[in-house]
Amino acid sequence: AQSVTQLGSHVSVSEGALVLLRCNYSSSVPPYLFWYVQYPNQGLQLLLKYTSAATLVKGINGFEAEFKKSETSFHLTKPSAHMSDAAEYFCAVSDRGSQGNLIFGKGTKLSVKP
Amino acid sequence: DGGITQSPKYLFRKEGQNVTLSCEQNLNHDAMYWYRQDPGQGLRLIYYSQIVNDFQKGDIAEGYSVSREKKESFPLTVTSAQKNPTAFYLCASSIEGALLSTDTQYFGPGTRLTVL
């Protein structure tokens, strides 16, 4: 069965600094991977997804993620953090063994200091 | 505007009462989902429906029930059998669900349920 591990429940960066949010997956088949963002008391919004095309995926708001099969990772990065990036971020894998449902990590809360 | 609406945004319930959370979408999506979110635990799947008049249990279905009588609606009932119902509930939909594992799920704004 597929699973997702997000390293670090809280990450704090300074405005303008690099953002790196880590995600490792476990899957017996080639995975489909997703990053979602959630602002307080709101639903989730898709940032980007990997569907076995290019390994470097660009998303909205300047975020990107690289699929590394050898490391079973799909880390999310942004070169320069903005105050508006403060939110909770979820990595998810598509459970292709169970009708394509998403399996979510526990989330990483990103804080951005001025 | 197309999207997913959930109502109410905040809901308070007394112990022993059943409550129903509304989820409506006008995206013409076949698949709909209900998730429960608790702090530090991510999202856990309660129920999902790939097509009208059909639905399946997710990982934590006990104490919940759903119906899918119309394509655009997927209400969730939290019954008195749910031992710890206080949580944030999120509804989502996707175009084809099981038929396309790369489907993006689109989320509603959520309902925060508090048991008094």
Tens digit of each residue's pLDDT (9 = 90 or more) over A56-109 = 999 999 999 999 999 999 999 999 999 999 999 999 998 765 556 888 999 999
Identify the band that residue B100 occupies on the pLDDT scale cut at 50, 70 and 90. low
- Please check the confidence at residue B98 and state whether its pLDDT lies above 70: no
- Please check the confidence at residue A48 and state whether its pLDDT lies above 80: yes
A-chain residues within 8 Å CB-CB of B102? 32, 49, 51, 94
**Residue A37: which residues within 8 A CB-CB, separation 6 or more?**
A44, A45, A47, A61, A87, A88, A89, A90
- Please check the confidence at residue A1 and state whether its pLDDT lies above 70: yes
Minimum-distance CB partner of B98 among A51, A100, A105: A100
- Please check the confidence at residue B71 and state whether its pLDDT lies above 90: yes
* Distance between B76 CA and the closest CA of chain A, angstroms: 17
| Tokens of residue A46, six digits | 């898709």
Residue A84 is predicted with a pLDDT of 96
Residue B36 is predicted with a pLDDT of 97
Is B48 close to A99, i.e. CB distance below 8 A? yes
- Please check the confidence at residue A28 and state whether its pLDDT lies above 90: no
From first CA to last CA, the distance across chain B in angstroms is: 35
* Greatest Cα-to-Cα distance within chain B, rounded to the nearest angstrom: 41
Is B98 close to A44, i.e. CB distance below 8 A? no
Is B45 close to A101, i.e. CB distance below 8 A? yes
- Asked whether A54 and A71 are in contact (CB, 8 A), the reply is no
